[in-house]
Amino acid sequence: MAKPNKTMGIYKKLLNWPFGKQIFSKLICRMAPYFGTVKPFVSDLKEHECTVLIKKGHRVHNHIKTVHVIAICNGLEMAMGVMAEASIPKHLRWIPKGMSVNYTAKAGSDIKCVAKVDAEAWKPGDMPVEVKAYDTNGVVVVEGHINLWISEKPQK
């Protein structure tokens, strides 16, 4: 089995620590502070898939006391970014190009944000990453894609 990249290595190491997932989630928010605005929690990370949880609460409410869709998009973007950093082949790099989402139901509970992509998708060019957000009953409340631009790393 190939050695995990830096992000996946840190995650796997922290899994053995008490509160390891909480520590990992806070590390990600220190690297990308905007994610911290929704207090996300990386609940699961494996190659090509990441799950981030957002707790329903005042911090993420909209005017009707459901989870605001922009907070959900923040969680989806974090899930995508962590998945990409943990999965991308060493000779490639990525940058987001855009996000397209549909709001499919009210988000009246805690939210599970999932980003996943097929292992074979990692090649130069456009790469859509499937993103979905679920409520605690498993109902999809937001679904769509985050489009990435994948390119070769420059030679050093």
Interval 51-99: pLDDT, tens: 999 999 999 999 999 999 999 999 999 999 999 999 999 999 999 999 9
List C-alpha distances in Å: 116 to 57, 66, 70: 26, 25, 20
Predicted TM-score of the model (pTM): 0.93
CATH code of residue 31:
3.10.129.10
Number of folded domains that form the chain: 1
For residue 42, tell me if it sits in a domain: yes
Contact between 88 and 141 under an 8 Å Cβ cutoff? The reply is no
For residue 1, tell me if it sits in a domain: no
For residue 110, tell me if it sits in a domain: yes
What pLDDT is attached to residue 101? Answer: 97
Average pLDDT over residues 2-23: 88
User: Which residues neighbour 53 within 8 Å (Cβ) at sequence distance 6 or greater?
Assistant: 40, 41, 43, 75, 110, 111, 112, 113
What pLDDT is attached to residue 2? Answer: 59
Q: What integer best gives the mean pLDDT of the chain?
A: 94
- Print the domain residue range for 51: 6-152
For residue 116, tell me if it sits in a domain: yes
For residue 146, tell me if it sits in a domain: yes
The pLDDT > 90 percentage for the chain reads 94
Q: Is it the case that residue 1 has pLDDT exceeding 80?
A: no
For residue 18, tell me if it sits in a domain: yes
Instruction: Measure the CA–CA gap between 87 and 120, rounded to whole angstroms.
Output: 11
Instruction: Measure the CA–CA gap between 61 and 57, rounded to whole angstroms.
Output: 6
Instruction: Measure the CA–CA gap between 62 and 58, rounded to whole angstroms.
Output: 8
For residue 143, tell me if it sits in a domain: yes
